[in-house]
Structures are given as C-alpha cells and as structure tokens.
Amino acid sequence: MSNPDGTTAVWVRDRLDGLWRDEDFVDWYPRDGRPGLSPAQLATVCVLQFLLGLSDRQAAEA
C-alpha cells in the first residue's frame, strides 16, 4: 500500500460519507436534465479543497 496511514482525501471521505445525499440538493438544480456531477460528491470535494488550502485550479488538477 502506498499510503499505509491513508490520505487526507480518504480521511475526509470516511468521516463525511453519508452526511450529504444528492436529494439534499434537489432544489439547487433545474428539474429538467441531470447534473453532471453528484452534488453530494461535489460538497465533499469542496470541504477537501478547503482543508488542503487548494485553489480551484489546484483542486481540479488533483
């Protein structure tokens, strides 16, 4: 295993898993069509981005 102690991303995922569901964000998206990304996953990525102090570009590249 390359990271026996885990990574920040895994730590965040393990602790936030189930905190948000896509249904929690239903009012934020139009009724026609489907969002390209899971809103719950996007919320988790935003938390990770904040914790790691990454810019939008850095987060997208990571």
Question: Which tens digits make up the pLDDT trace of 30-61?
Answer: 777 766 777 888 888 888 899 889 998 988 88
Greater pLDDT, 44 or 4: 44
pTM of the model: 0.57
In this prediction, residues 14-40 reach a mean pLDDT of 78
* pLDDT higher than 60, residue 1: no
Closest CA to 41 of 13, 61, 14, 60: 13
Q: Quickly tell me which residue has 């996007």 as its tokens.
A: 42
Q: Which two tokens stand for residue 57?
A: 């570009």
Do the Cβ atoms of 39 and 25 come closer than 8 Å?
yes
Task: Give pLDDT, residue 55.
Answer: 93
Q: Tell me the torsion sign for CA atoms 2, 53, 60, 12.
A: positive
Measuring CA to CA, which residue among 47, 49, 43 is closest to residue 61?
Answer: 49
Between 11 and 3, residue with greater pLDDT: 11
